[in-house]
Amino acid sequence: MSTMNPTAKRNTQRPMTYASTVQGQRLPVIDITDPRFALPADSDAITALFASYLADERRRARVPIFIMHMILALVSRRAPLLRSVVSARSGFLDGLSTYLLQLGPRTIYLPLQQ
């Protein structure tokens, strides 16, 4: 009799569950048991992410602020998530924008791929 390990990764991907917003966007529901939503949590991965963030910030610091504002204004016209981040009031995002950021780049575009 074999026992099943509930934490073992399966070779097959199960279908993702989606929910629709009032605006008609179809977004994946975050399932913390699904490896597609997994984030690296070990010390080395966190250190690497932080180093990448610092490098990005140093690069951005070299761009004059008026040019950065022009770039953000131009790009945010076509990017609703960026528009939400740039225009956040009192430093807070609305709920849907926060959810989209939590989805991350690997899963936010899954509905577009289907």
First to last CA, the chain: 39
Quote the domain boundaries for residue 69: 40-78
Q: Report pTM.
A: 0.57
| 44 and 60 together in one domain | yes
Supply the pLDDT for residue 65: 92
Q: Is residue 93 part of a domain?
A: yes
Supply the pLDDT for residue 52: 94
Q: Is residue 33 part of a domain?
A: no
Q: Is residue 28 part of a domain?
A: no
Per-residue pLDDT of the chain (114 residues; tens, 9 = 90+): 444 444 545 546 788 888 888 888 888 888 888 888 887 788 999 999 899 999 999 999 999 999 998 998 898 888 888 888 887 777 788 888 888 888 877 676 544 444
Let me know the angle formed at the C-alpha of 111 by 107 and 112, rounded to the nearest 5 degrees: 105
Closest CA to 108 of 70, 79, 67, 66: 79
Look at the chain and report how many structural domains it folds into: 2
| 86 and 99 together in one domain | yes
Dihedral through CA 84, CA 39, CA 30, CA 10, nearest 10?
A: 150
Q: Please compute Rg for the chain using Cα positions.
A: 18
